[in-house]
Each structure stands twice: as structure tokens, then as C-alpha cells.
């Protein structure tokens, strides 16, 4: 998850007397770079995850500092460090309240700290962590693509993951990630990582196979669900102009089974995108679990098309609702009363339609085999 506010505090609390004075909700924010600023001119160039540093020269008034944190937060900055003691004696209460309310990290270092040394030190640590993250991402991709070749990934992952523990995968898409240029995709990735709170060293975030991948390791399912629910809620509020769809696998045990979790998360993500459901868990997909895991989609469409061809052709030629009627019949176990209530159609109309449907299909739809076959065929039509 990169070099985070938490990581920085571990290093800087003693070395630079750094304190977190507000915005504790953003303790897991990743940092891409440190940016020194004394006015707001360059903020519009922020792409996300920048940590701003200021002496407070241009923000000595309470209103100016409040405006600063508001602008930084709106541009998805990781947080703000204020060099207190000269231009800014004390952080205004209104600024602290805003940071607390928005989970925006606000940190201070005393005036006697030489900022150039601190920035140089922390920037180097960010660079090292970024290199490590790339290595981890590569090893996880090896684990997904070549699970049996543990020598390709074990050594890289062992220091950071419980390889014998549980793994759960969430895949995030907007439906067009593979069509974006690298800069735009990174901009979205930076924003998403800021919204992925409470996941640091027991997880990892990277881009692979047209998805943003979130891997959670050795965590209880309830913890994972809380993190993902909060993440989805924040994406909806913070990126209202772009829909995000998330598919979540069940948990698997042992790194060798990570590829199963990835495929199941992909199945859930595909179904979420198709149905425009923001957050979908593989465990809730029912029979669609198997259907979406079939890689030969032509086999499925051929099977469905062959069984339902007479119905589909009739609906096309007569602008009819026979497929909808058949689905209702199968869903309600053949109950005409339930179908009538569901479709708001008189029972005589339903009886007439079903007689025609049976004639078109050439079967009674009464045997378990027939009902299962046509139920699956109708499900495939919705994929």
C-alpha cells in the first residue's frame, strides 16, 4: 500500500518531533511525494497522494489555512505538515475540526526542524517503498498466473504476507480502465488508494488485467467487508461523476490458491458491471458463480441460444414478452397465481402465453430436467 502516514510517523515522531494533531481517520493514506508550498498556486497540479509541507508563511490567517486544507483535500492530497513556531504559532481549532471531520491528516513539526533534511529523508523512503511495492505487485501477479511455481514469488512475498493464511481479492473497475492512458489511470488509482482506509501492511493495491486489484491477507471476513463497504461508500461520495464497480471473492487459504480468489473476484466484478451493482460478493451470486467462471462464453451463448431460439425469434417478430413470461414461470415454480401477481397480468393471458410457449419450445416444461435447462438458459441471457 506504499509509504503511508503511519509509516512516516514511525520514522518522524522522534527524529523530527512530528505530531498528528487532527485527521486521524487518514492514518493509512499513501504518500506519493512531498511538495513544499507557501501559496495555493501549484495545488491545481496535484494528481493525488501528494503530502504538502508549509512553513505557514502564506497561511498565517485562520481563514487562509482553512482554505488551504479544503483545497488540498479536494485535490486528494495525502495530508499537510505545518512547520509551527514562527509564522504559525498554533493550529486554529476550525482547521483541526475540518481535518477531523474529513479524515484529512494534519501534522506539525517544530520550527527548529530543518525542513530540507526532513523532506530529503522522507522522499528517499517513499522512493524505496515504491520500488518495493512494484516488486510485491510483480510477485503477486506471478502467484496469480503461475501458482505452482512458488519459487517465482515466495521469496518476494514472505517478508510481507502470511503465505499460509487467508487471501481475499477485490477487483475494482469503471468499465473503461483499459481504454485510459497511463496518466489518467494513475490519477484514479491515487484517489482510490486514499479512500481505502484501514488497510496498510496486511494488504496490497495494484493494477493488473484491466482491474485495480486489492488483496487482503490474514484478515477476518468481517474486517474485509467493513473496509470494502467503507471504501465503496467513499468512492460514491468522492467521485460522483464516475461509477465504480467492485467484485469480491470469497476467502481462500494459502498463496497457491490466490488465482482462484482472483478468478472469483473477476466473475463478481463482471456481474456487478453488467447489472450496474456497485459492490458484489462472489458468495451471493448463486448459480451465476459457475456461469461466470466458464471461460468459454461462446459455449454458454450457443447453449442458451439453441434452447431459447423459438422464444427469442417470436419476441423479435411480435415485440412480445414470452421470454419474460417464461422466466417468471420458472422462477415461481409454475404457479399461475404467483406469475399473475408478479407480472400484473390476468391469469387467462398467462395461460394463453404458456400454451404458446410450450408449443414453440416443443416441451411441457414440467420435468425437473426441462426446468433446470431452461432456467440456466434464461440466466445466460442476462450475462
The predicted model scores a pTM of 0.80
Examine the domain organization and report whether 306 and 371 are in the same domain: yes
Check whether 67 has a pLDDT greater than 90: yes
Taking only the tens place, the pLDDT of each residue in 218-253 is 999 999 999 999 999 999 988 888 899 999 999 999
Check whether 54 has a pLDDT greater than 80: yes
Domain containing 267 — which CATH number? 3.30.70.270
Examine the domain organization and report whether 287 and 301 are in the same domain: no
Domain containing 23 — which CATH number? 3.40.1390.20
CA–CA distance, 71 with 64 (Å, rounded to integer): 11
Taking only the tens place, the pLDDT of each residue in 5-50 is 999 999 999 999 999 999 998 988 999 999 999 999 999 888 889 9
| Contact call for residues 358 and 365 (beta carbons, < 8 A) | yes
The per-residue pLDDT for 242 is 87
Domain count, the chain: 3
Rg, C-alpha atoms of the chain: 27
DSSP string over 116-162: HHHHHHHHHHHHHHHHHHHHHHHHHHHHHH-TT-GGGTHHHHTTTS-
Count Cβ atoms below 10 Å from residue 344 Cβ, excluding itself. 6
Examine the domain organization and report whether 318 and 279 are in the same domain: no
The three-class DSSP label of residue 69 is helix
The per-residue pLDDT for 1 is 66
Check whether 320 has a pLDDT greater than 70: yes
Examine the domain organization and report whether 283 and 177 are in the same domain: yes
Instruction: Please state the φ and ψ torsions of residue 180, each to the nearest 5 degrees.
Output: -80, 155
Count Cβ atoms below 10 Å from residue 66 Cβ, excluding itself. 17
Residue 106's domain comprises 5-123
Amino acid at each position: 500500500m506504499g509509504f503511508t502516514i503511519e509509516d512516516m510517523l514511525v520514522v518522524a515522531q522522534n527524529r523530527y518531533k512530528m505530531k498528528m494533531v487532527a485527521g486521524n481517520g487518514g492514518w493509512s493514506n499513501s504518500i506519493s511525494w512531498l511538495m513544499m508550498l507557501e501559496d495555493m498556486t501549484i495545488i491545481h497540479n496535484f494528481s493525488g497522494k501528494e503530502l504538502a509541507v508549509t512553513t505557514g508563511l502564506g497561511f498565517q490567517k485562520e481563514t487562509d489555512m482553512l482554505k488551504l486544507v479544503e483545497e488540498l483535500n479536494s485535490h486528494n492530497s495525502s495530508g499537510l505538515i505545518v512547520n509551527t513556531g514562527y509564522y504559525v504559532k498554533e493550529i486554529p481549532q476550525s482547521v483541526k475540526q475540518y481535518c477531523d471531520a474529513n479524515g484529512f491528516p494534519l501534522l506539525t513539526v517544530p520550527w527548529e526542524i530543518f525542513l530540507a533534511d526532513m523532506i530529503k529523508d522522507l522522499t528517499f523512503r517513499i522512493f524505496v517503498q515504491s520500488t518495493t511495492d512494484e516488486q510485491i505487485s510483480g510477485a503477486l501477479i506471478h502467484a496469480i498466473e503461475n501458482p505452482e511455481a512458488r519459487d517465482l514469488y515466495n521469496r518476494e512475498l514472505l517478508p510481507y504476507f502470511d503465505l499460509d493464511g487467508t487471501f481475499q481479492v477485490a477487483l475494482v473497475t469503471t468499465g473503461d480502465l483499459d481504454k485510459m492512458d497511463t496518466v489518467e489511470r494513475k490519477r484514479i488509482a491515487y484517489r482510490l488508494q486514499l479512500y481505502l482506509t484501514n488497510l496498510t501492511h496486511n494488504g496490497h493495491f495494484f493494477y493488473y488485467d484491466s482491474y485495480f486489484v486489492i488483496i487482503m491477507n490474514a484478515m477476518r471476513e468481517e474486517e474485509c467487508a467493513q473496509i470494502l463497504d467503507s471504501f465503496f461508500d467513499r468512492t460514491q461520495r468522492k467521485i460522483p461523476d464516475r461509477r465504480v464497480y467492485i467484485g469480491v471473492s470469497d476467502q481462500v487459504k494459502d498463496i497457491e490458491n490466490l488465482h482462484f480468489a482472483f478468478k472469483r473476484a473477476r466473475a463478481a466484478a463482471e456481474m456487478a458491471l453488467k447489472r450496474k451493482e456497485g459492490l458484489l460478493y462472489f458468495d451471493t451470486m448463486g448459480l451465476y458463480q459457475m456461469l461466470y467462471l466458464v471461460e468459454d462464453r461462446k459455449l454458454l451463448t450457443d447453449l442458451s441460444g439453441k434452447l431459447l431460439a423459438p422464444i427469442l425469434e417470436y419476441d423479435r417478430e411480435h415485440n412480445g414478452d414470452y421470454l419474460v413470461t417464461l422466466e417468471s414461470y420458472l422462477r415461481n415454480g409454475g404457479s399461475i397465481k404467483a406469475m399473475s401477481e408478479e407480472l400484473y397480468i390476468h391469469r387467462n393471458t398467462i395461460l394463453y402465453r404458456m400454451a404458446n410457449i410450450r408449443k414453440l419450445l416443443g416441451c411441457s416444461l414440467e420435468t425437473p430436467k426441462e426446468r433446470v435447462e431452461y432456467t440456466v438458459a434464461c440466466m445466460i441471457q442476462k450475462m
